[in-house]
A = this chain, B = another copy of it.
């Protein structure tokens, strides 16, 4: 059994001495670094760090980390957060009718494949109620009544708050979120969207992809922002297709890809491997 670790994820303007200061802080307090990845983007002069260290002999408790680390953080103008390997983030799932992503995430949760808690599954449709019961997650059916999306979203946000949700995963949730909701869980809402080469405007992208004879279809997972499908990219993947694939085949292959890409994006997030910087996400290995 691996010892519990803390993961410090940080970004700041580049200058000499940052790693030395951060690792000296850890070592001075009895921590042992087990994985460190650091990268400097020359173009932006930006420094990115993920530092994972064993905490069994670390003499600063979690509540005390921020004040203890403040001198280092302040000196380098650091934006940082700290996660812990023994903390299972509370993940709220939002879904519409399609089951593939919901089902995969609940299965991974139950089997311990993803170190998360899933306190609630919210949907604007009733379809997932039985699955929720089977997996042992509370189900909240919050339909959009009379087209009043604002009221429904307010209900959704209340439910997420009541359940202490730290990460929202849109598991094929076919509603556009308001800018306010994206702000409330900023960099903590993961969504996926189709990615085609070339990209297609308008409706029925799989039909267009088929008509255009694309050889590859793709999926992108991103942090939701106010601009639809434009948030910082966390993970992408593609699959080869051919003229033998009809539109239903494309959809089916797309579903398998959505499942895989979304699970990998969630894993990166809960492993404190993601760092949003401007319009992009630095994803540490």
Interface positions of A (Cβ within 8 A of B): 2, 14-20, 23-24, 26-28, 30-43, 48, 57, 99-100, 103, 107, 111, 113, 134, 195-199, 210-216, 218, 220, 230, 232-233, 235-238, 242-244, 246-247, 252, 255-256, 260, 277-283, 285
CB distance from A3 to the nearest CB of B (A): 8
Give the oligomeric copy count: 4
Residues from chain B with a CB closer than 8 A to the CB of A278 are 211
Contact at A113–B252, with CB atoms within 8 Å?
A: yes
CB distance from A187 to the nearest CB of B (A): 13
Residues from chain B with a CB closer than 8 A to the CB of A99 are 107, 111
CB distance from A169 to the nearest CB of B (A): 18
Contact at A280–B244, with CB atoms within 8 Å?
A: no
| Bound CA span A41–B246, Å | 8
Residues from chain B with a CB closer than 8 A to the CB of A236 are 197, 214-216
- The residue in chain B whose Cβ has the minimal distance to the Cβ of A38 is B36
Residues from chain B with a CB closer than 8 A to the CB of A134 are 134
| Bound CA span A233–B210, Å | 11
With contacts A16-B32, A33-B40, A35-B38 known, what are 5 further pairs, Cβ within 8 A?
A17-B27, A35-B39, A36-B38, A43-B210, A214-B236
Contact at B244–A285, with CB atoms within 8 Å?
A: yes
CB distance from A17 to the nearest CB of B (A): 4
| Bound CA span A213–B32, Å | 24
A35-B244, A37-B37, A39-B243 known; A281+B19 contact, CB < 8 A: no
Question: Which of B27, B30, B32, B213 contacts A14 (CB under 8 A)?
Answer: B32
Question: Which of B30, B196, B244, B260 contacts A16 (CB under 8 A)?
Answer: B30
